[in-house]
Structure 1
Amino acid sequence: MQDQNTPRRLGVVGGLGALGAADVFFKLVKALPGRKGQEQPELLFEQHPFHEDDIPGERSASQNGRKLYVFDMIRRFEARQVDAVVLPCFLSHTFLDELASEIRLPIVSIMDALYHHVVQRHAGVRRLGVLTSDHVRAKALFERRFPGTDWEILYPRAEVQRECVMAAIYAADGIKAGCLQGGSTERLAAACRDLTEQGAELILPGFAEIPIVIDALLDCGFPVLDTNLIYARYAVSQDAMPRTRQFKVGVVGGVGPAATVDFVDKIVRNTAARRDQEHVKLVVEQNPQIPDRTEHLLGDGPDPTVALYSTCKKLEAADADIIAIPCNTAHAFVERIQPYLSIPVVNMLSETVAHIRKHFADRKVVGLLATSGTVRSGVYHDVVMRAGLQLLVPDDEHQDLVMGAIYGPAGVKAGFTEGACVQDLLRALTSLARRGAEVIVLGCTELPLLLHEDEAFAVAGKTVVVLDPTEILARKCVSLSRQSDA
């Protein structure tokens, strides 16, 4: 919940019907709770020229331009740190589901507002008359919120819908044209009469323009609700709203490029999905120009801290919820940048050790095959020791073989995945196993391109298991995504 002492900021999307949006804004101001000074909730109203068809509410009218306009407006509000969006347009509420997975800000639902009002204030009412556009009717917006098992939704008959409802809004002398008296109100009154004759107990306007002339309808005795006022009161009453945007994993790519492709493949393979839309949402910032982590840790290369931080900030700006860095050596720099990020870096090293503790609890000696930078940084030493395990690293001779398998002219970073690089890596692995290693961690993200995770090796009369930290990281990212979506 938001701190009650912190004023909320509501962004109001204008431009989709100037008169209706202005009426909602006016009623928002009236509905604001009586607080003093800076405690008063803040309203940000913004509109831009928006070209639409002459009759955008027609059944077959394209809403593509409206969708993109609303999306862009919400992104602008996100940049201004708004807490929630007020969207006074029934047409736009027909495609809220399309927006929800792509935006961070919650949209206050006008249909939720009407539902709560009807349930709380008109508990005995079951026959609802609706005055809305042909398009909204076709999309069954009101039926979705007021299901037929509990309510009966009534619409004006076809001729009345065409000659009275649609004409009252869109005709040359309609409300959108600024004509708030005479023909427009007479047409709406005729539509209300048609609904009451059908047995409607309440009439719900499905145009933001209708509440502007509601007094004329109420004077005729029709049970019409001011949907703009109901929406405004509901919007200011919501202290906090859930954010429904789909979970997104941000990936620091390019460290190295082949390892990034391998990691994304592992995300896909570890996702139980029946169709494209059930896969994990990813954003990859592929930055091979991040300085070599090993060269810096060995004292000979430029510091990659700023480049890593810059890449993470780009992922943060791209709405990622977590950051995955498929590079073991880069984790030596995570503690430097994490305090300055608003989203967490999922620590691949910690997840690997947790995996060992959970699945190989009887094994206490961990062998590490990694770059010399990772070995000398001590990042694996620290996390392994905290878990009560022992870490073994290759001696100088075999560490040179590991570095050759990674960086050599016939190594994996040069594009080789067979031959001498594999044989050199196996020699280093065998040395660690003979010294007592029971689990071998492939502590460089290119090494799983040479050896496979969970591949068992029989060495000196015992079985040694090989683990791939990028596979473990991929599974963790998928798990976090599923937990968020649950």
Structure 2
Amino acid sequence: MGVIGGMGPLATNVFYDMVIEKTEAERDQDHINMIILSHATMPDRTAAIKEGKTDEIFEKLLKDARFLEESGACCIAVPCNTSHYVLGWVQENVNIPIINMIDEAALMVKEDVGSGIGKYGEKVKIGVMATDGTIEMGLYQKALKAQGLEPVVPSSENQKKVMKIIYEGVKKGQPVKPEDFKAVADEFKEKGCAKALMACTELSVYKIKEGLDDYYIDAMEALAKKAIEICGK
């Protein structure tokens, strides 16, 4: 398995732990061979999307993907949701599969909620917690709608809290104010969301650290499961 990581480093570390924990193994040799390329100097993805300057992100991701392909990887996992905005173009230029975390997470949500149809025939609502870039590009909104679900994004005020959790909390290694997370969670529940999707790998880190319950579905978990499957484990 090839991994383009470092976006951020802590999230990549959690992804590696997740793959190890979810691989059925009784000895070292039962685990998956991995090449983890921690590209921590990759420009900020959300900033690039907002400024309309994604060419550099694309070129660097493509270079990394080609390196992993040439190094013998059978597939590539990228534990960064926002980067998926350009990964489709990267996929067109390499010959091994780049796992689409967005699609895999939406599929996992659908499997979790069942038919996707509520008690009165309405579509099941799913809250989406993600970076501004992921939200503005509609990455998860499109994927969830494709599964027959109704995505719900935070209000502008609460979206600022999500960004604060990601950038001022997890990425900086600083404590997250519980009231910031609670405000977003409460909004989802008030709007009737059956589940909330942690659609940023920093939020995946937060979910594990805080021991959040199964109301919160982790997109990175879907990526790990698919990567293990592709690698024949």
The secondary structure found in structure 2 opposite 1:343 is coil
The secondary structure found in structure 2 opposite 1:439 is strand
Aligned residue number for residue 240 of structure 1: none
Counting only pairs closer than 5 Å after superposition, residues 84-483 of structure 1 correspond to structure 2 as 249-299=1-51, 303-363=56-116, 364-408=124-168, 411-416=169-174, 418-420=175-177, 422-452=178-208, 455-456=212-213, 465-482=215-232
Aligned pair count reads 224
Higher helix share: 2
Q: What residue identity is the alignment partner of 1:270? A: K
CA-to-aligned-CA distance 1:421-444 (integer Å, 9 cap, x gap): x43123212211211211111111
Shift of 1:482: 2.1
Verify the 8 A CA contact 1:366 1:389 in the aligned structure 2: yes
Structure-2 change in CA distance of 1:419 and 1:407 (3 Å):
closer
Structure-2 change in CA distance of 1:309 and 1:473 (3 Å):
same
Verify the 8 A CA contact 2:129 2:154 in the aligned structure 1: yes
The secondary structure found in structure 2 opposite 1:328 is coil
CA distance in 1, matches of 2:212, 2:170: 19
Verify the 8 A CA contact 1:291 1:301 in the aligned structure 2: no
The structure 1 segments of at least 4 consecutive aligned residues displaced by more than 4 Å after TM superposition are none
Q: What residue identity is the alignment partner of 1:311? A: D
CA-to-aligned-CA distance 1:369-420 (integer Å, 9 cap, x gap): 0000000011111111111111000010000000011112xx110012x341
Shift of 1:301: 5.7
CA-to-aligned-CA distance 1:432-480 (integer Å, 9 cap, x gap): 1211211111111011222249943xxxxxxx71011111211111122
Structure ID, larger Rg: 1
Shift of 1:334: 1.1
Aligned residue number for residue 119 of structure 2: none
Q: What residue identity is the alignment partner of 2:50? A: L
Q: What's the TM-score, normalizing by structure 1?
A: 0.44
Verify the 8 A CA contact 1:294 1:373 in the aligned structure 2: yes
Verify the 8 A CA contact 2:7 2:40 in the aligned structure 1: yes
User: RMSD in angstroms over aligned alpha carbons?
Assistant: 1.8
Structure-2 change in CA distance of 1:476 and 1:377 (3 Å):
same
Q: What residue identity is the alignment partner of 1:436? A: G
Shift of 1:359: 2.5
Aligned residues: percent identity? 31
Verify the 8 A CA contact 2:49 2:133 in the aligned structure 1: yes
* Greater relative CO (CA pairs within 8 A, separation 6+): 2
Q: What residue identity is the alignment partner of 2:166? A: I
Shift of 1:259: 0.5
